[in-house]
A = this chain, B = another copy of it.
Amino acid sequence: MPTIEDVARAAGVSLSTVSYALSGKRRISEATRLRVERAARELGYRPHAGARALASSRSDVIALAVPFRPGLDVQIVMQFVAGVVAAARTHGRDVLLLTADDPEEVARVAASSTADAVVVMDVASDDARLPALRALPVPSVLIGVPDDTRGLSCVDLDFTAAGRLAVSTLAEAGHTTIALVSASATRLAEGANYAVRMRAGALAGAAAHGVELLQVPSEPTFAGGAAAVQEAFARGPRPTALVVHNEAALGGVVSALERLGLRVPADVSVVAVAPSEIAAALPIRLTTVEVPGQRIGRIAVEMAMQRMGGDDTAETRLVAPALLDPEVSVARCAAQPA
């Protein structure tokens, strides 16, 4: 592999001129710059990443801690990852892939100057990794919002607003009994903050409109979704609309509704809270509060870049939810108020 010295020799300039010509950090005459660029191109020169990192104390690498534990929704994880990778590339950064389980890993890549920022996915309300993240020698950005965000940069969908939006949309269409098919009771108890915030928003929306919200936790499986529908319609007041915030259960919910002979939206209105790709893979189209995974991934990188740039202010950014296809699976409530 050619080094910067080879390029310098070929271009007939000094070593530092090559460096400056290529980085643009110093005024270089047009003529020399062209000669240098040409020599570099012809030799197929690529700066040695390690040497550069050593000299500049920057690796130009962003570490990304991705959860691999089973039961997690893979689709949305991939959305985040895709967003992070794309945004990192536009900033000339590479992405180092870490498993999210081990906080030690994040500490290692940060302390060894392997990465100069970290993005951590799947952060829980009371995440065990928080102290470690605060102690990091490099900036970190969390996807997900813990209870205590002091000193931490966080980004996520505004799930509270998403819950409110979903319920409001239905309430404004005249529905007065709405079921929320949410994450499993286990996940809720674990403090999966998106589920908790979503529920809070849905409850707030219900209260604001004076409608009833039935809470139906569901396992993240096809069978779980089907069971949740059974439960929603078996209990007390019969819902005329469903909000489903459980990607993996969505297929089961739709299937169970069909089996019960309930047409969407003629008999039941449905609002899904999910990445648009998942909603698109269902047998029927659904009105969707989008979880914009890619966008959040991008923002995470932007925030990391900003903090690498020396901006110390940790901030929490909540992305406003958007309602997709408001008409397709929401209809005015047919049932008369009792």
- A residues at B contact (CB < 8 Å): 1, 44, 46-54, 59, 61, 64, 68, 70, 74-75, 77-78, 81-82, 85-86, 89, 94-99, 105, 108-109, 111-114, 137, 221-223, 226, 248, 251-252, 255, 277, 281-283
Complexed CA–CA distance, A33 and B252 (Å): 59
19 more contacts with CB within 8 A, not counting A46-B112, A96-B97, are: A1-B137, A46-B111, A48-B113, A49-B50, A49-B112, A49-B114, A50-B54, A50-B59, A50-B113, A51-B54, A74-B75, A85-B97, A89-B99, A94-B98, A94-B109, A222-B281, A222-B282, A222-B283, A251-B251
Q: Which residues of B contact A46 (CB under 8 A)?
A: 108, 111-112
Q: Contact partner of A50 among B51, B222, B226, CB < 8 A? A: B51
Write 12 A-B pairs (CB below 8 A) sorted by A numbering. Answer: A44-B111, A49-B59, A50-B50, A50-B54, A53-B53, A61-B96, A85-B97, A94-B98, A94-B114, A95-B96, A226-B283, A251-B251
Q: Which residues of B contact A74 (CB under 8 A)?
A: 74-75, 78
This chain's copy number in the assembly: 2
Question: Do B112 and A283 touch (CB < 8 A)?
Answer: no
Could you tell me the distance in whole angstroms from the C-beta of A97 to the nearest C-beta in chain B? 4
Q: Which residues of B contact A59 (CB under 8 A)?
A: 49-50
Complexed CA–CA distance, A137 and B54 (Å): 22
Q: Which residues of B contact A99 (CB under 8 A)?
A: 85-86, 89
Could you tell me the distance in whole angstroms from the C-beta of A264 to the nearest C-beta in chain B? 15
Q: Contact partner of A1 among B94, B96, B111, CB < 8 A? A: B111
A89 nearest CB neighbor, chain B only:
B99
Could you tell me the distance in whole angstroms from the C-beta of A134 to the nearest C-beta in chain B? 16
Q: Which residues of B contact A54 (CB under 8 A)?
A: 48, 50-51, 54
Complexed CA–CA distance, A255 and B281 (Å): 13
A44 nearest CB neighbor, chain B only:
B111
Could you tell me the distance in whole angstroms from the C-beta of A275 to the nearest C-beta in chain B? 10
Could you tell me the distance in whole angstroms from the C-beta of A85 to the nearest C-beta in chain B? 6
